[in-house]
Amino acid sequence: EIVMTQSPATLSVSPGERATLSCRASQSVSSNLAWYQQKPGQAPRLLIYGASTRATGIPARFSGSGSGTEFTLTISSLQSEDFAVYYCQQYNNWPRNTFGQGTKLEIK
Partner 1 sequence: QITLKESGPTLVKPTQTLTLTCTFSGFSLSTSGVGVGWIRQPPGKALEWLALIYWDDDKRYSPSLKSRLTITKDTSKNQVVLTMTNMDPVDTATYYCAHFFYDILTGPPPFDYWGQGTLVTVSS
Q: What is the contact surface with partner 1 in residues (CB under 8 A)?
A: 32, 34, 42-46, 49, 55, 87, 89, 91-92, 94-102
Nearer to partner 1 by Cβ, of 33 and 75: the residue is 33
Cβ(103)–Cβ(21) under 8 Å? yes
> Least distance in Å: CB of 43 to partner 1?
4
> Least distance in Å: CB of 80 to partner 1?
22
Sheet of 4-7, strand order: 4-7, 19-25, 70-75, 62-67
Nearer to partner 1 by Cβ, of 13 and 55: the residue is 55
Question: Strand 19-25 vs strand 70-75: parallel, antiparallel, or unpaired?
Answer: antiparallel
> Least distance in Å: CB of 53 to partner 1?
10
